């Protein structure tokens, strides 16, 4: 068997999230079913980050073991064929070592949250949170500075979060306006459940002028979910990338071994 790293892109609208659930409709189920049609038997996968219902990805990473007779192009094209017509595709497939894990080998995860900040609702783009009232992105950026670094993020953690510790190190929390959009880029080694969306919902209160920037620091220090702002909706959030010590999708990826030739 060969372990394959898969670089994935999907529109999370209409899915119940990544993780398989009893009622179906999970992205994991669709990926494993598509790969199963390629090999003729059940296939299981591991993923870098289990995105919630309605959350999108442009740089999700998964891994699965497949028979050695396949090459990377065959894996990508065949899985994509069986995923049609879902808004879910494999961008790249790369052979990695048998012990490589998309989750445990990751040293960083990057998310982007987009707020469409204009009076008119979106006509084309579903990957945004529509906020009609003008936001002060400068105040939001100042408030974001209080969250950088290593902290107990209990105030920004979902009640259902299963992480053993609420401590996380936030490496990047950048807020910038791009025309009608307020774009929030976030990076950390790992995140708590709903952490990004809870931070965005809180920063929106600052942008609206309802909170002073310093209140975000107070909310963080309270270590109480009730002290922070609301959870932003999932549609504006996209997992944009997963960081590894060696990128499996670059020519110098980890433990890359040549794929065997396809049978004639």
* No. of helices (H) and no. of strands (E), the chain: 5, 10
199 CB burial (10 A radius; 0-12, 13-18, 19+): buried
CB 193 within 8 A of CB 160: yes
Out of 11, 52, 185, 247, the active site residue is 52
- 71 annotated active-site: no
| Alpha carbon distance 82, 75 (integer Å) | 11
Q: Phi first, then psi: what are they for 212, rounded to 5°? A: -80, 155
In 3D space, the residue among 222, 105, 221, 131 whose CA is nearest the CA of residue 184 turns out to be: 131
Listed in sequence order, the residues at least 6 apart from 52 whose beta carbon sits closer than 8 Å to its beta carbon are 12, 17, 18, 194, 234
Residue for token pair 């459940």: 193
Return the number of other C-beta atoms located less than 10 Å from residue 216's C-beta.
Answer: 27
Q: Which residues are catalytic?
A: 52
């Amino acid at each position: 068997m060969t372990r394959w790293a898969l670089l994935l892109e999907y529109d999370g609208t209409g899915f119940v999230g990544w993780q398989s659930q009893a009622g179906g409709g999970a992205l994991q189920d669709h990926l494993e079913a598509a790969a199963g049609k390629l090999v003729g038997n059940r296939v299981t996968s591991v993923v870098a980050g289990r995105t919630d219902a309605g959350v999108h990805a442009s740089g999700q990473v998964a891994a699965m073991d497949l028979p050695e007779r396949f090459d990377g192009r065959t894996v990508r094209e065949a899985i994509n064929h069986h995923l049609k017509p879902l808004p879910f595709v494999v961008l790249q497939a790369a052979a990695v070592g048998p012990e490589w894990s998309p989750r445990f080998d990751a040293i960083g995860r990057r998310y982007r949250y987009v707020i469409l900040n204009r009076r008119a609702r979106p006509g084309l783009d579903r990957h945004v949170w529509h906020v009609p009232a003008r936001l002060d992105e400068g105040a939001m950026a100042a408030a974001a500075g209080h969250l950088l670094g290593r902290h107990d993020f209990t105030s920004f953690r979902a009640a259902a979060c299963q992480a053993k510790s609420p401590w996380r190190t936030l490496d990047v929390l950048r807020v910038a306006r791009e025309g009608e959009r307020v774009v929030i880029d976030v990076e950390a080694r790992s995140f708590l459940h709903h952490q990004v969306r809870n931070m965005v919902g809180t920063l929106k209160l600052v942008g609206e002028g309802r909170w002073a920037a310093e209140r975000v620091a107070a909310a963080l220090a309270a270590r109480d979910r009730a002290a922070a702002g609301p959870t932003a909706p999932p549609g504006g959030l996209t997992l944009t990338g997963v960081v590894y010590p060696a990128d499996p999708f670059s020519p110098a990826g980890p433990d890359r071994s040549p794929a065997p030739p396809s049978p004639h």
